[in-house]
Amino acid sequence: MADLAARLAAIDERIAAAAQHAGRSADAITRIVVTKFHPASLVRDLHALGVRDVGENRQQELSAKTQELTELAEMRWHFIGQAQTKKAAAIRRAATAVHSIDRERIADALDRVAVDDDVLDVLLQVNLTDDPGRGGVAPDGLEHLAEHVLECETLALRGIMAVAPLNADPAESFARLHGLAERLRTVAPEARWISAGMTGDFAEAIAAGATHLRIGSAITGPRPAQG
């Protein structure tokens, strides 16, 4: 727990420094701690340290942890993984926000399973690689998908999300993402979130305007072997 607190504090210092360097307020940046593959007890420890935003990339793990941790107040669970339409109801039950909307069908599936008048925050994931097999809508399909999501009454379109391609300069990738975020706002003026930046590239993401960082291993330590 002492190690965890130290790593969290060190990252928050680096976030503050990167924000200052970029002439931005760190208050405008949400640090999401990605807890995938780690046990629910780690989320409990993070909560005790003041963390309220956590990220998961697999529906089953998200559902299991939220069910185990119902006693944690004010938690916001961010779903950041590839979403399957048949898992939409489970994702919607557990997540506060879904960062990975990349096709109309997943938006429709999440919209359809709304309960009462709850509204789900969603972001459009864009694919910055040339590999169509990667998650995310191709950049030239962004506006079309945004228009579709705006028609989904129980979804609130909050912004854009991307993972920087491995073999490219993250600063360039995030500059491109910033341009796509501006394009998105011409269609959806309220969609101001930019979810970008991980352990290896969050400073570059902050410089390019990221509002939501998704940081895992630098805070949690190495992930346990994937089962």
**Interface contacts to ligand PLP, rule CB under 6 A:** 34, 36, 57, 80, 163, 198-200, 214-218
Contacts of 157 (CB under 8 A, 6+ apart): 122, 123, 124, 146, 149, 150, 188, 190, 191
Cβ-proximal residue to ligand PLP, closest one: 216
Contact (CB, 8 A) for 63 and 93: yes
Expressed in percent and rounded to 5, the helix, strand and coil fractions of the chain are 45, 20, 40
Q: Which is nearer to ligand PLP, 22 or 210 (CB)?
A: 210
Q: Could you tell me how many helices (H) and strands (E) the chain has, helices first? A: 9, 8
Tokens of 106: 């997943």
Tokens of 5: 């607190």
Nearest distance from C-beta of residue 216 to ligand PLP, angstroms? 3
Q: Which is nearer to ligand PLP, 64 or 114 (CB)?
A: 64
CA–chain centroid gap for 171, Å, is 19
* Helix (H/G/I), strand (E/B), else coil: 21: helix
Q: Which is nearer to ligand PLP, 34 or 155 (CB)?
A: 34
Q: Which is nearer to ligand PLP, 80 or 155 (CB)?
A: 80
Nearest distance from C-beta of residue 223 to ligand PLP, angstroms? 7
Nearest distance from C-beta of residue 32 to ligand PLP, angstroms? 8
DSSP 152: -
Nearest distance from C-beta of residue 60 to ligand PLP, angstroms? 15
Of the candidates 152, 148, 176, which has an alpha carbon nearest to the alpha carbon of residue 162?
Answer: 176
Kind plus residue range of the DSSP H or E element containing 177: helix 170-187
CA 34/CA 19 separation, integer angstroms: 20
Nearest distance from C-beta of residue 41 to ligand PLP, angstroms? 18
Nearest distance from C-beta of residue 220 to ligand PLP, angstroms? 7
CA 121/CA 16 separation, integer angstroms: 26
